[in-house]
Amino acid sequence: MRKLAAGNWKMNGLGDGLGEITALAAAFPSPNCDVLICPPATLLSRMSDAAGSAIATGAQDCHAKTSGAHTGDISAQMVRDAGGAYVIVGHSERRTDHDETDAIVRAKAEAALSTDLIAVVCVGETLTDREAGQTLDVVGTQVAGSVPDGATAANTVVAYEPVWAIGTGKVPTLEEIGEVHDDIRARLVARFGDDAKNIRLLYGGSVKASNANEIFAVSNVDGALVGGASLKASDFGGIITALEAS
Ligand code: PEP
């Protein structure tokens, strides 16, 4: 499978930040892994133009419906129209800030799939869940509830992002990451069959160039979803290089 280095710019980036994507495209004219940046929606069209063909772009969210009276939302069709190929759904910040349930996340992922976008479905436990020994149950329930029935290796990516590791500088041990990724893989294969062996499983949560090598060596880690360290081409480039070498 082709591994995936995905960047989530969150609510960061103005037009002058497009130089970062130009620099990234110049540094990686033909990477041996897939590279994705998900900028804020305001930049998606311009970034898609600037990224060229070697780097994909995507949105950080989409509405489940195609169009209508949903002020402030964007549809999967709009993401595609702006040049995006992927959409992140169910990021923990959306689950928390916008009360997104697994059913909502699943509906958004279904909208993505029916629009020929690749859905990056995010799951992850809170620190309370982990300390209560509930990690595999919580993540397993999220995977079951958020990943749509039409998921395939071609149209779906699952990102395991422990909530307590996002933007905190804290990272689970490699054993903890491997335990969750192995469990997600087993659940997906049990539900979807052999094709799910190739659904890409990303780790996300304080990934940096300095810890990427060891994380990418963990079983069933097929790439990363990166927040803070995706904003600068030089930082994200180090992660891409580590993924290419893994
Ligand atoms: C994220 O935004 O999905 C993320 C993992 O953020 P960070 O890399 O900054 O922890």
* Ligand 1: lining residues by beta carbon, under 6 Å: 8, 10, 161, 166-167, 204-207, 225-229
Set 91, 93, 110, 181: catalytic member: 91
**Count of domains for the chain:** 1
For position 171, what pLDDT does the model report? 92
Mean pLDDT score, 85-101: 97
CATH number at residue 75: 3.20.20.70
Q: How confident is the model at residue 112 (pLDDT cuts 50, 70, 90)?
A: very high
| Structural domain boundaries enclosing 93 | 4-245
Q: Where are the beta strands (DSSP E) in the chain?
A: 4-8, 34-38, 56-59, 86-89, 118-123, 156-160, 200-204, 223-226
Tell me, yes or no, if 161 is annotated catalytic.
yes
Closest residue by CA, ligand 1 atom 7 = 227
DSSP string, 15-29: GGGHHHHHHHHHH-S
Instruction: Decide: residue 85, CB within 10 A, 0-12 exposed, 13-18 middle, 19+ buried.
Output: middle
Q: For residue 15, what pLDDT band results from cuts at 50, 70 and 90?
A: very high
d(CA 55, CA 41): 17
Instruction: Judge contact between 158 and 181, C-beta under 8 A.
Output: no
Nearest CA owner, ligand 1 atom 5 = 205
- Minimal CA–CA distance to 208: which of 3, 5, 2, 4? 5
Predicted confidence at residue 186, as pLDDT, reads 98
CB distance 9 to 40 below 8 Å? yes
Q: What is the mean pLDDT of the chain?
A: 97
Is 70 catalytic? The answer is no
pLDDT level of residue 219 (50, 70, 90 thresholds): very high
